[in-house]
Amino acid sequence: MFRRNLPVIGAMLASLAAIGVAALIAWNQLNQASAGISGARTNGEAVIAPGISLGGPFALQNHAGQTVTEADFAGQFMLLHFGFTNCPDVCPTELGNMAAAIDILGDRNPAFAEAVVPIFITIDPARDTQDIVGDYASAFHPRMIGLTGPPEAIDAVAKHYRVYYSQGKPSEDGFYLMNHTSFVYLVGPENEFVSMFHSGTAADDIADALERYVRKTEATS
């Protein structure tokens, strides 16, 4: 009986796998389209769709409860990631890559690395308090700043960067995950959007791009 059903089970598994792959592709395309992205360069930098503008002002709180805005980083680059501290894999990977990219850049040119501030902004402000987000960020890199704020402030900055997020279904103990787009953004010295990197871009590739953009700014300023 079971043996006779094997081809059926096989076909079912194959179609389930196909649905899974199709869902993953659809999710990625939706992510990219909603983020204003129309492709990727080989170094992980996203190609932004025409007419899309990204970035903007923000007012959030750091670990000490001080209000931090884009003006605090005038003259520096911001390397930004949005996520949540309970993220099981994507956020730690991205933040690790950002931290490693800063260190790689620092080995090549310490002044260039100093010109880039790595920043983590939570999209889960209900759980990620100032202390939590600050400790989390500085665990990845001593210069990484963790920011949180009231839900409206998080919403506003997420909208500027076309970051989409939603709360997952809580388990019985109330624990939940957040769904979120996970690009890494590079913002220039005048708070202008410079570039963004796809999730999973290698630290070396981010470092190369940082070096190129920082050098370009140094040359023109």
Minimum CB separation of residue 9 from Ni ion in Å reads 35
Minimum CB separation of residue 7 from Ni ion in Å reads 40
Q: How far apart are CA 127 and CA 120, in angstroms?
A: 15
Minimum CB separation of residue 90 from Ni ion in Å reads 4
Minimum CB separation of residue 69 from Ni ion in Å reads 24
Nearer to Ni ion, 99 or 115 (CB): 99
Minimum CB separation of residue 87 from Ni ion in Å reads 3
The reply to whether 206 sits near Ni ion by the rule CB under 5 A is no
Taking CB under 5 A as the binding criterion, the range among 3-11, 24-32, 84-92, 187-195 that sits at the site for Ni ion is 84-92
SS3 202: coil
Tokens found for residue 107: 């080995």
DSSP string, 121-167: EES-TTT--HHHHHHHHHHH-TTPEEEB--HHHHHHHHHHTT--EEE
Q: Which of 44, 55, 83, 188 binds Ni ion (CB under 5 A)?
A: 83
**Residue at token pair 């010295």:** 189
The reply to whether 163 sits near Ni ion by the rule CB under 5 A is no
Tokens found for residue 99: 């931290």
Q: How far apart are CA 211 and CA 204, in angstroms?
A: 10
Nearer to Ni ion, 37 or 115 (CB): 37
- x-marked contacts with Ni ion along 32-61 as a string, rule CB under 5 A: ------------------------------
The reply to whether 90 sits near Ni ion by the rule CB under 5 A is yes
Q: Do 123 and 106 contact (CB within 8 A), yes or no?
A: no
Q: Which helix (H) or strand (E) holds 176?
A: none
Q: How far apart are CA 221 and CA 135, in angstroms?
A: 35
**Residue whose C-beta lies closest to Ni ion:** 87
Q: How far apart are CA 151 and CA 42, in angstroms?
A: 36
Minimum CB separation of residue 83 from Ni ion in Å reads 4
The reply to whether 133 sits near Ni ion by the rule CB under 5 A is no
Q: Are strands 193-197 and 184-187 parallel, antiparallel or unpaired?
A: antiparallel
The reply to whether 87 sits near Ni ion by the rule CB under 5 A is yes
Nearer to Ni ion, 22 or 175 (CB): 175
Q: Which of 46, 54, 68, 91 binds Ni ion (CB under 5 A)?
A: 91
Binding footprint of Ni ion on the chain (CB under 5 A): 83, 87, 90-91
